[in-house]
Amino acid sequence: MDQQRLDYLHKGYLNDSLNKEEREQWGTVLQSREQEEPIKILMEQTWHGILPEERISISGSQSDLFFNQIIGKPELTRVKLWPRIAVAASIAFAIGVGSLLYINKDNRGNNQQTVQINDVDPGKMGATLTLASGKKIRLDDAVNGELTNEAGVSITKTKDGQLIYELKETGAEHNKFNTLSTSNGETYQVRLPDGSAVWLNAASSLTYSANLIKNGKRSVTLSGEAYFQVAKDKSHSFVVSTAGQQIEVLGTHFNVNAYPDEPITATTLVEGSVKVSSGSHQKMLKPGYQAKNNGKDIRISKANIESVTDWKDGEFNLDETDFRVAMRKIARWYDVEVIYDKSVPEDIEAWGWIPRDSKLSSILKLIENSGQVKFRLEGKKVYVYK
């Protein structure tokens, strides 16, 4: 697209003079990687045209709202702007400028926008390691380096906060179990003795023996949600046990959502192959597909991988997500209670894509832009209204 057309669309959006087709075209432009640099230049030029006293401090949550305002426009095709633009470090300044311009423009025509006085910080990396001896170690408080060396197993915390297991004595007794657990608002990563990596989501726990081996297989037990990157070992398959289900693999990448408050256990395969078993039911998964186990049967369907693994990548991908499922994800990460007014329908969807390091108010405003619900945030309680 030539510069003249970009100038026209940019100014037209700021002046609210674009027609429906032009707004759709502007949304497509913002989605395109090829237009990142020209858009950055446009926004910088506009920034320099603002009076100094009007150059307010731009926070991260405001930059998120730049995208929310675009996504929230009913005339525009809903587009996933954040990962398209945020990957380029050079666009960061333009994002901030855009948030100021677009928020100011939209607020002039919408004086009823919710103002969040209270806010909640996002979750962080943290977990508790419970050793077989009963000793508990808070990993976010623990210093880097070796945490313990028991039964020939060394457990080390790295500078980036990862937990690493290493077998130091092959003849030692390794059948004692450890549990790594996260609370609401926490996430953690562990590298197991076989080299497998596990990302643990909020309000989850992973239990395993020091050398993983149980009945000739590498075995772990999961409650909550985790993403597994399993090291290949043709001699020992890798088994993940959850309430009412087992997943068996040799070496692959997959996500398991087995929260007690979710109606199904969802196993999503990214690459490789896995076997999902529940009672007499057994299914093989192919990459890009998901097994949904409701306790009675297992159903296979095409998966939205980006939506499933968003938490591992530090994002909330809420596009076409069941609203109450989305709110449970949010509640776990921000450690809040969600309270629904009886007027809120059961069959609505959430929309939007935003980083998980955003303030809670940014997430709520993103969802509010759908026009389906409104929120009131009081301390650690989120009230939802139609």
Task: Give the model's pLDDT for residue 182.
Answer: 97
Residue pair 57/354 in contact (Cβ under 8 Å)? The answer is: no
Beta-bridged to residue 276, according to DSSP, are 247, 283
Q: Beta-carbon neighbour count of residue 325 at 10 Å?
A: 15
Residue pair 222/250 in contact (Cβ under 8 Å)? The answer is: no
- Say how far residue 144 (Cα) sits from the centre of its chain: 26
Nearest to residue 271, comparing CAs of 287, 290, 255? 287
Residue pair 340/54 in contact (Cβ under 8 Å)? The answer is: no
The 337-340 sheet, strands edge to edge:
337-340, 381-385, 374-378
* Domains, the chain, with CATH or none: 3-108 (no CATH), 124-307 (2.60.120.1440), 315-385 (3.55.50.30)
Question: What string of pLDDT tens digits covers the 386 residues of the chain?
Answer: 777 787 788 777 766 677 878 877 877 777 665 666 676 666 655 544 444 433 333 334 434 434 444 433 333 333 333 333 333 322 333 333 333 333 333 443 443 444 345 789 999 999 999 988 888 999 988 888 888 776 667 888 888 888 988 876 655 555 678 899 999 999 999 999 889 999 999 999 999 987 888 888 999 999 999 999 999 998 999 999 999 899 999 889 999 999 999 999 999 999 999 999 998 899 999 999 999 999 889 999 999 999 999 999 999 998 888 999 999 999 999 999 999 999 999 889 888 888 999 999 988 988 888 788 999 999 899 999 98
Task: Give the model's pLDDT for residue 204.
Answer: 98
Nearest to residue 229, comparing CAs of 186, 274, 199? 199
pTM above 0.75, yes or no: no
> Which residue is it, tokens 């087992």?
246
Long-range contacts (CB closer than 8 Å, 24 or more residues apart) made by 168-177: 174/209, 174/210, 174/211, 174/213, 175/209, 175/210, 175/211, 175/214, 176/131, 176/132, 176/150, 176/151, 176/209, 176/210, 177/132, 177/207, 177/208, 177/209
Residue pair 220/209 in contact (Cβ under 8 Å)? The answer is: no
Task: Give the model's pLDDT for residue 24.
Answer: 77
Q: For the purposes of burial, counting CB atoms within 10 Å of the CB of 64, is it exposed (0-12), middle (13-18) or buried (19 or more)? A: buried
Quick one: how many helices (H) and strands (E) in the chain? 9, 26
Beta-sheet pairing, 197-200 with 217-229:
antiparallel
Q: Beta-carbon neighbour count of residue 175 at 10 Å?
A: 11
Task: Give the model's pLDDT for residue 84.
Answer: 34
DSSP 8-state secondary structure symbol assigned to residue 307: H
